[in-house]
Structure formats: structure tokens, C-alpha cells
Amino acid sequence: MKKQLQYTVNRIDLRGVTCPVNAVRVKQAVVALGDDELVEVILDAGESLIQAVRSINDAGFRIISSEQLDNAVAIIVGKARKIEGVG
């Protein structure tokens, strides 16, 4: 039987926030995560998303999932360690 894990998902909406401010806020949010927490980040599609994703990857964090929204993208981000039951 698989062990069911629960994570707390925090949300930050960075639509309308430009680079590099959005990338800095994403990094701050992920650094502050506990072991049982994830963060959902909503970003404008385009350059803001590209820069934020680059910052996330460069810092060694993990994008767990993404979802296209109207003119934006929601990504779930966690720390780089393997998250059981996800991915």
C-alpha cells in the first residue's frame, strides 16, 4: 500500500510583475519552503515566465507541474529533493 503524503501549497500571483522582480520573489518563496510545502506561482506567459523558470532551475529548485491559464502559467515549485509520490 502506498503511503499518502500531504503537502501544503502556498500561492503567489506574480501576474503583472516584471523581471527580475518576479524571479527574485519566486526564489525567496522557494527558499522559505519547509519539507512539506510547495509553492504555486502564477506568472505572465512570455519573457517573465522564461526568466523565472531559468532562475528556478539555476537555483536548483524543481518545477513539479505547470498549467496554462489565460495569458498566464501556473507552476508548482518545490525544493530539489525527490518529492515522494510526485513526478
Mean pLDDT, to the nearest integer, of 40-55? 90
The highest-level CATH class for domain 8-78 is alpha beta
Q: What's the whole-number mean pLDDT along residues 78-85?
A: 63
As a whole number, mean pLDDT of residues 48-66 equals 88
Answer for the pair 76, 40: CB distance below 8 angstroms, yes or no: yes
Backbone φ and ψ of 62, nearest 5°: -120, 130
Write the single-letter amino acid at 20.
P
Q: Over the stretch 13-36, which tens digit does the pLDDT of each residue have? A: 999 998 889 888 988 888 888 878
CA distance 44 to 67: 12
The domain limits of the chain are 8-78
Length reported for the chain: 87
**All cell numbers assigned to 12:** 503567489
What predicted TM-score, i.e. pTM, was given to this entire model? 0.79
Residue 4 confidence (pLDDT):
65
